[in-house]
Amino acid sequence: MSRIREINSERILESSCIEFAEKGYSATKIIDIAKKAGLPKPNIYYYFQSKENLYRCVLESIIEPLLEASAPFDQYEDPAIALGEYIRTKIRISKEHPHASKVFASEIMHGAPHLTKDISDKLMSQTKHMTTRIDQWVSDGKMEPIDAQHLLFTIWASTQTYADFDWQIGQVTGKKTLDNHDYQTATELITRLVLKGCGLNLVEIK
């Protein structure tokens, strides 16, 4: 029974990601999520209680990998490796969680009205930690002087665009969906631009 619950919860969450990404919070209806998931409407409330709670679960599904993405900042002392691994992870998140990424982007653009304080605090703590690490690398002479906050803004914008602006990318490339080669090319290009901009040597991305 627990396995059935797990499968149904995953189906509902996946369908919710798509609906919230395409329509936004206000326009999304539980009945549409139920239809997309192939489940009765009461099941949605049984598993997630409310639309607001379901929306928060969608946000949390992308928050966890976003928080884990900063691990390279602690794993490596070489800023070139840390930044390269961070960029690669961020591209992977855009590839694997495109709809949840769009929901998160929309939430931020609307002032984060549904983002709980504990999640907001974790994201801010993560950002402060990363900027501190970058500032330390600069202070140690490991990379050229650069504004740490704006460096992160640049990385976020360039990596998350592959999920948040997929329609535009599709129009330009003529592809309905990007393939592994496209994501690899994006990772290598963004890494090259960032590292060279920081006065760092390129690192091999496997």
DSSP label at residue 76 = -
Q: What is the model's pLDDT at position 75?
A: 94
DSSP 146: -
Residue 201: per-residue pLDDT: 86
Angle at 122 between CA 154 and CA 133, to 5 degrees: 50
* 19 class by beta-carbon count within 10 Å (0-12 exposed, 13-18 middle, 19+ buried): buried
The neighbour count for residue 189, using CB atoms within 10 Å, is 12
pLDDT means per 10 residues, the chain with 206 residues, are: 77 91 89 89 88 90 92 95 96 92 89 88 95 97 96 95 88 88 94 95 66
Contact between residue 133 and residue 82 where contact means Cβ atoms under 8 Å apart = yes
Please give the full DSSP string across 88-140, using - where no structure is assigned.
HHHHHHHHH-HHHHHHHHHHHHTT-TT--HHHHHHHHHHHHHHHHHHHHHHHT
Contact 54, 48 (CB under 8 A): yes
In this prediction, residue 189 carries a pLDDT of 95
Q: Which two tokens stand for residue 206?
A: 């496997």
3-class secondary structure, 165: coil
Q: What is the pLDDT of residue 204?
A: 63
Encode 113-123: b = buried (16+ Cβ within 10 Å), e = exposed: eebeeebeeeb
The domains of the chain, with CATH numbers, are 2-49 (1.10.10.60), 59-197 (1.10.357.10)
Of 115, 117, 124, nearest in space to 70 by CA: 124
What secondary structure letter does DSSP report for 80? Answer: H
Identity of residue 123:
L
Query: Residue 19 belongs to what H/E stretch?
Result: helix 2-27
* CA–CA dist 131, 148 (Å, integer): 5
pLDDT at 203: 66
What is the model's pLDDT at position 6? 79
